[in-house]
Amino acid sequence: MGKSRIQLTDTGFSAAMKLSDGNPGALTVCARILKEGGDIDPDSAFGGLGNLLDLDTLEIYGSRIWMLYKDVCGEDLRVTCAILRAWQLGFLSDVDLRSAIEGSGIDHVLDVPALVKQVEDRLPDFQRAETVTA
């Protein structure tokens, strides 16, 4: 993997800007992750910033962040955080995640509900779908 974009001197806002590559959808997702990520995944040591660090490590930037959120996770921020946590916990490979984002054929369709359940089973404090309020 390449050089990380996020540096220790970055604020949440500057990290989101670096990751979004000027894509408004990606910036919105990053901002929501920063704001809501810690509540969704209270076991994350870095709150929502942890998910941004995951995106950086995976080299998922710009429109690919939006594609992850929209196409892979059905525009559900909780599911997006769960998928990133599934990768972090080793339930999902970086290759499979990238392939799902890029839509690389039927072999790379993720069983998103099963991955979310694995995360929920491993992390009892992870926000359950039934606790989400509109």
pLDDT by residue (tens digit) across 66-99?
999 999 999 999 999 999 999 999 999 999 999 9
Phi, psi dihedrals of residue 93, rounded to the nearest 5°: -85, 155
Q: Return the pLDDT at 95.
A: 93
Q: What is the DSSP letter of 5?
A: S
Check: CB of residue 20 under 8 Å from CB of residue 52. no
DSSP 122: H
The residues near 80 (Cβ < 8 Å, ≥ 6 apart) are 29, 33, 51, 68, 69, 72, 73
Model confidence pLDDT, tens digit, residues 93-128: 999 999 999 986 555 678 999 999 999 999 999 998
Q: What pLDDT score was predicted for residue 83? A: 97
